Structure 1
Amino acid sequence: MAKIRVLIVDDSSFVRKMVSEMLSTDPDIEIVDTGADGREALEKTVNLKPDVVILDVIMPMPDGLWALQEIMRQCPTPVILYSMLTEPESEVTIEAFKLGAIDVLPKPTSPAALMLTKKKLIEKVKIAAEVDRKKLGTLFQAQVREPYYIIPPVFATRRLVAIGASAGGPAALLSLMAKIPKDLSAGILIAQHMPAFFVKSFADHLSRVGPVPVKVAEEGDFITAKRGLLSPGDASIKVEKIKKGGVVALDSTESEHRVLPSIDLMMESSAQVYGPQTIGVLLSGMGKDGVKGLKAIKDVGGKTIVQDETSSIVYGMAKEAVNAGVVDKILPLDKIADEITQSLG
């Protein structure tokens, strides 16, 4: 009986080695090659004709979703997505199934989960190898469950507004989001320092007061126009780049300011992905979180705005940003929404 020939594609050499070693313990599986980005995934699938491809999502451009789509278009092959972003019912997972992925498996987050992941991965590879290639791309269409929060159809591929707040921020955010137009042509990310148990109800409240819906950000959420994503209270939003725009990764590492979520991390990663099309906004709050983030946005040619002292309950983070020389506009709270809208054109 012929072995199952597997191609492994991940930008991490450690992950490629680890997955190769896990699969090689099964005598029915053979690793034919590995790759480090989406283009290699496509080229090696076309040339080597593996039985199964194991594919990461976040890689140097082009990304895994692009590779999945092109593989299904040019050389239909069973693909298993193996990524930190492929939690059940994440938006990346839903998109992957729509593009024709056979299965998904989240990468293990602890050594204890590694053995279970090994067993699951081997099982999934063997099942995928039995799939009729002629049916790829449509096999799972009817089974895909839409998440409760429907994915907006317009991807914010070029523009992003990143808003940070701390003490006094909830009231400021409620006022600001009430004035943001529903047809805003940019994605909105929000980092508010607050207890984790309060975040969901606060997101719901933001959705009720303004025309733009807001949800708590989850691993694998797409950053889209016409909605806001609010950082969980126990993790920071880190923006990753894929062909369709930005996607959310969550990072629970405590920042240098000893707070979560980190405004700096959200803004710095936003600047890396969206460049000069990033608008950074810092509202009421204490401390220095957000200053480095605004600097990163300003350094790539984006626009930076802070709430003025008169309208701020706590004029701390904004003051530090002004003193650091990284602010383009200092505005009263009731003028910030108009400035954002005008800046987006």
Structure 2
Amino acid sequence: MKTRVLIADDSAFLRKRISEILSSSDEIVLIGTAKNGKEAIKKAIYQNPDVILLDLMMPKINGLEAFRRIMAENPTPTIILSSISPQTLDSSVQALLIGAFDYILKPGTLGAKKLPDFRKNLIEKILLASNSRFNKIYGKMEYEKDSTGNLPFRQQWVDEVFEFGKYLKEIKPSKIQSKNVFKAENYVEYKKKPKQVTDNKISKEDIEGQSELQKEYKNRLHENLDKPKKIESDIQKRGKSTSFDDKDNIDVLYQNLLRKEKRREKKSDKSVHKQSILKEIEHKKDIRTQKIRIEDSQPKKYFKTISGRKIPKIDSKIVVIGASVGGPKALRMILQGIPRNFPYPIIVVQHLNEHFISPLAQYLNKNSEIKVKVAEHYEILRPSTVYFAPSGRHISISTKKKSPCIILYKGKPVNSCVPSVDVLFESASEIYKNKVIAILLTGMGEDGVNGMKKIHENGGITISESEETAILFGMPKFAIEEGVVDRILPNYKIRDFLVQKSYY
């Protein structure tokens, strides 16, 4: 059976372009298009598509409000058509937190070379959405009022997310003061030193205590000190006339003579200096070849650590989380229930575009008791803080002054992912040993399975999200099949487990 798709976008060109892409697939059929939010709501309810492609910037009713109403009336797997403008990114993050299946950047934001990749990714995401467990997880009963007349938790969550949209609009960019701006309090007036007035004549007493070269040269001119002379200088060439007496003349000539002597010494020592440098280079080459032989004999690791440093004993625990498609919603369910005094740091790898990570961390930081931020290179890990891996860089754990810290680096994709969950999990197992709590959430593929296996072997705690709440039961399923999972829990029980674990 073919997947039935509805396109909602105010651009006629984009609707036509996406329609052509979908018509090229034998597994997808286009059942309709909408040019504004009002039409999108109507067609989503009456035509009941399997998947909706939704633009967020549309007339009459904007895409975010339309998505909210669609989720309330007829929950449907929705892929957000996003651009990289700040307003669209903020709305896209809100949609992902409400329950949008996934996002895709519009072709207009990509180069011509990436259009074939856009076609491939779009078809893959539509087929994934149609085969996901979205309809089983999101139901109409979640939006009905209970016996007391209050909205259920699900609807309250949606309202909170929309409040976040208002919060983002109120944020003003910080005024960065230029370093060149003059400030009166920073101004220091430096007084010029008065010129020292000296006699033009040099006595024999002044010559005592000087080097033999200087004595010899000044003695030679000592008899003619009473006869002033004029010499040409760079200042005279610029148009300024300046007269120098013999004392200044002696100093200038002496400095020139001294430079010549130094040049002769350098020429004589040049060959000796070259030989010493060559010996040092050969010595370093020998050491380097020895290191390469040792490294080749050892098994290769995905993650990077600081070489030559002993790993200190870490007494505290750490929580590491890996997530992919559907992760923002699951992460919100987990992080918002963690108390302010949570004693462990939390590191998250969420497969998401670089433009979405910062708004996601900003939202979770505003709506959580613990601090949530994007990780920085060489940052020391603190308790009660959540660190999101930035997109395009692997994140691993090392040590700095006997304290665990974050290492960010650009590396080759691991399991076709940068950042990779395996890189984080394996480095956490290396540093924290059996004091790691690893959590694998919704997503496709096998990223995180190898790292979870290592944590399980070292005695750490491993948790996978259950099929009850995972929109894509791929990554958790592979870990369960490998037999490396200690507990299988829905996302809301994972939060409760972490809170209970923090008390003992």
TM-score (norm 1): 0.55
Structure with bigger gyration radius: 2
CA positional deviation for 1:256 = 3.1
Which stretch has the larger CA shift, 242-251 or 189-198? Answer: 242-251
Larger RCO (CA within 8 A; separation ≥ 6): 1
- Take 2:364 and 2:402, find their aligned partners in 1: how far apart are those partners? 26
- Provide the residue aligned with 2:331 in structure 1: 173
- Take 2:498 and 2:447, find their aligned partners in 1: how far apart are those partners? 21
- Provide the residue aligned with 2:499 in structure 1: 341
**452, 456, 462: which one aligns with 1:304:** 462
- Take 2:491 and 2:374, find their aligned partners in 1: how far apart are those partners? 23
- Take 2:380 and 2:315, find their aligned partners in 1: how far apart are those partners? 10
**Offset from partner CA, 1:79-114 (integer Å, 9 cap, x none):** xxxxxxxxxxxxxxxxxxxxxxxxxxxxxxxxxxxx
- Superposition pairs of residues 214-233 of structure 1, within 5 angstroms: 214-233=372-391
CA positional deviation for 1:183 = 1.1
**1:223–1:157 distance in 2 versus 1, CA, 3 Å:** farther
- Provide the residue aligned with 1:250 in structure 2: 408
CA positional deviation for 1:62 = 5.5
**Offset from partner CA, 1:111-166 (integer Å, 9 cap, x none):** xxxxxxxxxxxxxxxxxxxxxxxxxxxxxxxxxxxxxxxxxxxxx85210000000
**320, 344, 349: which one aligns with 1:191:** 349
- Superposition pairs of residues 201-280 of structure 1, within 5 angstroms: 201-280=359-438
- Take 1:240 and 1:62, find their aligned partners in 2: how far apart are those partners? 10
Which AA in structure 1 matches 2:340? K
Are the counterparts in 1 of residues 466 and 489 from structure 2 also a CA contact under 8 Å? Answer: yes
CA positional deviation for 1:284 = 0.8
- Take 2:422 and 2:310, find their aligned partners in 1: how far apart are those partners? 26
**468, 475, 493: which one aligns with 1:317:** 475
- Take 1:305 and 1:183, find their aligned partners in 2: how far apart are those partners? 22
Structure having the higher helix fraction is 2
Are the counterparts in 2 of residues 286 and 314 from structure 1 also a CA contact under 8 Å? Answer: yes
- Provide the residue aligned with 2:187 in structure 1: none
CA positional deviation for 1:180 = 1.4
Matched position secondary structure for 2:336? helix
Which AA in structure 1 matches 2:346? I
CA positional deviation for 1:59 = 4.8
- Take 1:157 and 1:221, find their aligned partners in 2: how far apart are those partners? 19
**1:250–1:316 distance in 2 versus 1, CA, 3 Å:** same
- Provide the residue aligned with 1:283 in structure 2: 441
- Provide the residue aligned with 2:484 in structure 1: 326
Are the counterparts in 2 of residues 231 and 237 from structure 1 also a CA contact under 8 Å? Answer: yes
**1:198–1:331 distance in 2 versus 1, CA, 3 Å:** same
State how many pairs are aligned: 207
Unaligned runs of 5+ in 1: 1-23, 37-56, 67-155
Are the counterparts in 1 of residues 425 and 452 from structure 2 also a CA contact under 8 Å? Answer: yes
- Take 2:397 and 2:332, find their aligned partners in 1: how far apart are those partners? 24
RMSD over aligned CA atoms reads: 2.8
Matched position secondary structure for 1:180? coil
CA positional deviation for 1:188 = 0.5
CA positional deviation for 1:343 = 2.9
- Provide the residue aligned with 1:125 in structure 2: none
Matched position secondary structure for 2:434? helix
Which AA in structure 2 matches 1:254? K
Which stretch has the larger CA shift, 305-314 or 246-255? Answer: 246-255
CA positional deviation for 1:293 = 1.3
Structure having the higher strand fraction is 1
- Take 1:188 and 1:321, find their aligned partners in 2: how far apart are those partners? 20
TM-score (norm 2): 0.38
The percentage of counterpart residues that share the same residue type is: 33
Matched position secondary structure for 1:222? coil
Matched position secondary structure for 1:223? coil
Moved over 2 A (4+): 57-63, 241-245, 341-344
- Take 2:332 and 2:397, find their aligned partners in 1: how far apart are those partners? 24
Which AA in structure 1 matches 2:437? I
